[in-house]
């Protein structure tokens, strides 16, 4: 095990044949992006794992884009729910990036100046040629189909991959240690579907003490030491390349096609000085520090789906699952109060109005005594009816207060244990009762945005991100229980009010 003699500067580079070693931070801005949310900016993927790093099994073959139309696609737009979106990118003066970063689902790239665009249809890497006089100071615009992947669909796909996919994306060096294969089997032993296996490996690192760091990161020795094996069993510290390479290799040992994505970049940071932009758009600055790598996994009839194994990073791609939960208690509070009468009193009233009993009383005691007895009973019935009417009227008049009391009482009971899934399902039911209906096929994030736009807050979207973390990180969330409870409490009160 070694640490190398040089320290690299973080940023995008094309040579990945020898991974490992330490990095120093570099906050030089590479480009700025205007979009509605943080995006992963993809540049390329590589398929050949050597035991030391990544290479391409075939040479780049650039094809010109006709009228900016992007032919390369990671996934099938016909098989995936997508939303039409637009983003623009402007290279900074300091940038030396000669590639064209694009978001997932890119369909068209256009410029306001004369430029030639070329793309390799295997890796997805795109380049731009412009004249020296024009430079690249003007933005390019990307029309893209933002994907949302159905978990149900991913769980139901076939395991029969096309032979071309198997031949290229199941490759592993013969020198790969057996314990890497054994670990992958152990992690996924009780996972029935491809999706379940992928998620289990994606979550493995954050649940088992693997640490993200860019300093004092080892390099495999010149002999037979394997880069992935060293990270999994020896060091357990590293940066995105360690995590992403390990996930790809372990998936391949399970005969699940996967590839290493030389991302390009994560979404960057929102700039403090925001220009006047259309509603929902923000200006992000992406620096060399945002250089990143992640994983794509092949699902038949769907395509390549991105996953994020690196500890501390969250996949910005949306996954959704139809939420099926029991309906809220259908008992109306005011009806419940009216129906809660005394059974003994009810029986007495029935006996008092039974004609057979009246006739028996009259024959035994005489008409005068019967009149004296029946008079108080009739008065009691009238009074009882009046009281019930008054109670019903009062309940109707105070129906909003009663319902609020009932909902708050039920919420307090649910929130005591702070089961995130139960709390979130209750919140969805509560929203539906209040008229916030979720459309068929709508992702939770899209639904949350609509709710927040209506109530003028951002709580529902923030809570949805935490709920997704809970689902996809096996119960792990990035906030403490007090903060989570307050967030739930705040939005529940907003909805009830």
Q: What was the pLDDT predicted at 411?
A: 58
Report the C-alpha gap between 228 and 213 in whole angstroms.
Answer: 16
Q: Average per-residue pLDDT in the chain?
A: 82
Q: What was the pLDDT predicted at 344?
A: 44
Which pLDDT band holds residue 3 (cuts at 50, 70, 90)? Answer: very low
3-class secondary structure, 347: helix
Q: Are 419 and 425 in contact (CB under 8 A)?
A: no
103-107, 364-368, 391-395, 472-476: range with highest mean pLDDT: 103-107
Give pLDDT tens digits for 477-489: 666 777 777 778 7
Backbone dihedral angles phi then psi of residue 286, each to the nearest 5 degrees: -110, 125
Q: What was the pLDDT predicted at 64?
A: 95
Range in 93-97, 114-118, 318-322 with the lowest mean pLDDT: 318-322
Answer whether residue 416 shows pLDDT above 70: no
Range in 119-128, 147-156, 352-361, 449-458 with the lowest mean pLDDT: 352-361
Q: What was the pLDDT predicted at 328?
A: 39
Range in 112-126, 172-186, 314-328 with the lowest mean pLDDT: 314-328
Q: Any idea what the Cα angle at residue 222 is, between residues 216 and 227, rounded to 5°?
A: 55
Answer whether residue 128 shows pLDDT above 60: yes
Q: What was the pLDDT predicted at 396?
A: 57
Which pLDDT band holds residue 179 (cuts at 50, 70, 90)? Answer: very high
Q: Are 197 and 180 in contact (CB under 8 A)?
A: no
Q: What was the pLDDT predicted at 338?
A: 35
Judged by phi (left if over 0) then psi (alpha if -120 to 50, else beta), residue 155 lies in alpha
Answer whether residue 316 shows pLDDT above 90: no
Report the C-alpha gap between 238 and 209 in whole angstroms.
Answer: 12
Which pLDDT band holds residue 135 (cuts at 50, 70, 90)? Answer: low
Answer whether residue 339 shows pLDDT above 60: no
Instruction: Using CB atoms within 10 Å of the CB of residue 480, give its burial: 0 to 12 exposed, 13 to 18 middle, 19+ buried.
Output: exposed
- The mean per-residue pLDDT over the stretch 239-253 comes to 97
3-class secondary structure, 119: strand
Report the C-alpha gap between 252 and 414 in whole angstroms.
Answer: 43
Between 214 and 346, residue with greater pLDDT: 214
Range in 172-176, 326-330, 448-452, 478-482 with the lowest mean pLDDT: 326-330
Q: What was the pLDDT predicted at 364?
A: 44
The side-by-side arrangement of strands in the sheet containing 291-299 is 44-46, 258-265, 291-299, 303-307
Report the C-alpha gap between 243 and 188 in whole angstroms.
Answer: 17
């Amino acid at each position: 095990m070694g640490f190398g003699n040089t320290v690299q500067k973080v940023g995008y580079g094309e040579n990945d044949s020898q991974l490992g070693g330490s990095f120093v931070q570099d906050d030089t801005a590479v480009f700025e992006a205007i979009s509605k949310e943080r995006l992963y900016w993809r540049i390329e993927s590589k398929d050949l794992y050597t035991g030391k790093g990544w290479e391409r099994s075939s040479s780049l073959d650039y094809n010109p884009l006709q009228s900016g139309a992007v032919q390369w696609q990671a996934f099938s737009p016909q098989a995936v729910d997508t939303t039409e979106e637009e983003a623009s990118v402007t290279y900074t003066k300091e940038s030396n990036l000669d590639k064209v970063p694009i978001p997932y689902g890119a369909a068209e790239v256009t410029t306001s100046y004369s430029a030639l665009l070329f793309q390799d249809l295997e890796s997805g890497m795109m380049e731009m040629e412009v004249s020296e006089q024009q430079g690249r100071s003007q933005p390019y615009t990307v029309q893209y189909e933002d994907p949302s992947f159905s978990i149900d669909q991913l769980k139901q796909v076939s395991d029969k991959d096309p032979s071309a996919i198997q031949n290229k994306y199941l490759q592993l060096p013969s020198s790969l240690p057996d314990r890497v294969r054994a670990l992958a089997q152990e992690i996924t032993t009780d996972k029935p579907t491809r999706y379940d296996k992928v998620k289990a490996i994606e979550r493995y690192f954050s649940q088992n003490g693997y640490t993200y760091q860019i300093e004092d990161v080892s390099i495999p020795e010149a002999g037979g030491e394997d880069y992935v094996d060293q990270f999994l069993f020896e060091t357990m510290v590293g940066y995105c390349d360690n995590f992403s390479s390990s996930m790809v290799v372990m998936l391949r040992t399970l005969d699940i096609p996967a590839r290493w994505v030389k991302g390009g970049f994560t979404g960057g940071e929102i700039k403090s000085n925001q220009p006047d932009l259309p509603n929902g758009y923000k200006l992000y600055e992406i620096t060399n520090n945002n250089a990143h790598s992640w994983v794509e996994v092949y699902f038949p009839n769907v395509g390549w789906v991105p996953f994020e194994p690196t500890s501390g990073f969250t996949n910005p791609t949306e996954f959704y699952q139809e939420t099926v939960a029991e309906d809220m208690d259908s008992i109306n509070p005011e009806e419940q109060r009216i129906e809660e009468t005394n059974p003994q009193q009810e029986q007495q009233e029935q006996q008092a109005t039974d004609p057979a009993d009246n006739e028996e009383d009259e024959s035994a005691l005489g008409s005068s005594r019967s009149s004296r007895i029946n008079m108080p009973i009739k008065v009691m019935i009238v009074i009882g009816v009046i009281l019930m009417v008054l109670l019903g009227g009062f309940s109707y008049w105070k129906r909003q207060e009663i319902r609020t009391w009932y909902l708050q009482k039920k919420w307090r009971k649910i929130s005591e244990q702070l089961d995130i899934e139960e709390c979130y399902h209750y919140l969805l039911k509560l929203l539906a009762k209040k008229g916030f209906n979720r459309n068929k096929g709508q992702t939770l994030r899209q639904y949350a945005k609509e709710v927040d736009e209506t109530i003028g807050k951002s709580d529902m979207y923030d809570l949805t991100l935490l709920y997704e973390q809970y689902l996809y990180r096996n119960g792990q969330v990035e906030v403490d229980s007090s903060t989570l409870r307050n967030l739930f409490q705040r939005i529940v009160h907003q909805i009830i009010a």
